[in-house]
Structure 1
Amino acid sequence: MSKFLRALTSVALATSLVVATSAASATTTADVAFLPALTDSFSFFGVTISASGSGTYTNNTFSAATSDLAAGGTQLSWDPAAALTFAIAGNGAMTFDGLVYSNTTSSVVGDIHFVNGNIKHDFNDITVFSVAPLTPAFSTLTTGGSVSGGFALSAAGLGAVTKTLGITIPIPTLSVGTLTFTATTPAPIPEPATWALLMAGLVGVAATKSARRQG
């Protein structure tokens, strides 16, 4: 084998070892865990909590998938099919969906639907929770891991809803639970160009071994 061909083979082999990966973002899930004191008080007034669609509700915790968080992102959106429902004995039900967490405003905004027999009300983009600063930093999610912070019910957002519905209830401003985001970063996926370089490298290795046998 000529020196030129051997050099070319070496270059192909070295190049095949270069790792090129496609851009990947962290897939996240959200857990909204209510304090037992809150859910106990709800139960006392005949309020039951449940999840629908892609969400689950177990042990005072509402869990649902959220959209991928790309680097530099400042918000996370819950799966549109995930909803949290508060059913009030004899007084209809209030369902929360379309939830979005904004790290810029430290709040969770969503759509609220109230149904009680023939009475129906829809409220869009209502601030549901005000969230304390997440720890560690929100940006941590782009590389995987968990961040969390306490949250309180939004007196301003929910107050507007209860006023429209004619419901007079106190809305606690202290923390009533913990919001946790957990991100899982997928393994790097080689790009098509990387596979091509890998094949070229393997061909180069095979050619080198063949030349050595013939030499």
Structure 2
Amino acid sequence: MVQELLTEKIPVLIFSGLTVDEQKSVKELKDFGLVEDVRESFSSDVTHLIIQSFKKEVENRRMCLRTMKFSQAILNKCLALDKHDFQPSSNKYVMENYEICVDTALQKIHNGPFNSRTSNSRGLFTGNSVVLCGFSERDDLKHFVEKAVCICGFEDIRSLAAEELQSFADYFKTYTCVTYLWFIESISMFQIQPVKQYQIETI
């Protein structure tokens, strides 16, 4: 059994929030043959995110910034580890004990990376239809024929000018509209959050 654990696939790394010297140290792991590769940007074969965690922890659990790469790591079922905790000679099951499970935005244990890696789901948002509004001029309702969640690029409808309200009227008539935090926090926790908590009142 021990031998099986030690023959895990050689890690493919990506890092986030590291200093230049720390990045260099991570990249040197490839030169020594300890990891398969160290990537600059995310790809489907990345297995580990090496990230800066903070001394300020929640219930003695590791916490990091909610970066784009952290969200990508969750969606891609990667292990997310502090730079000091990653040991290439250790097997995945040992490293799981050091996994990041808190981010600075939520400030509570959510175990997003663990939830993702142990989920049998094909994808977090599988079966959901989503439309965006308030993010760009290319928003288009015509691509969606069923009622879906509409993610808005604003949180408070009262902040919009009259002409902006009118331009978004069709979205609010057709969809359940939520702030972008519904999308981001669903990813962080790897669990679809109740839309009611993020819902924007209709016009």
TM-score, normalising length from structure 2?
0.23
Between Structure 1 and Structure 2, whose CA radius of gyration is higher?
1
Greater helix content: 2
TM-score (norm 1): 0.22
Name whichever structure is richer in strand by fraction.
1
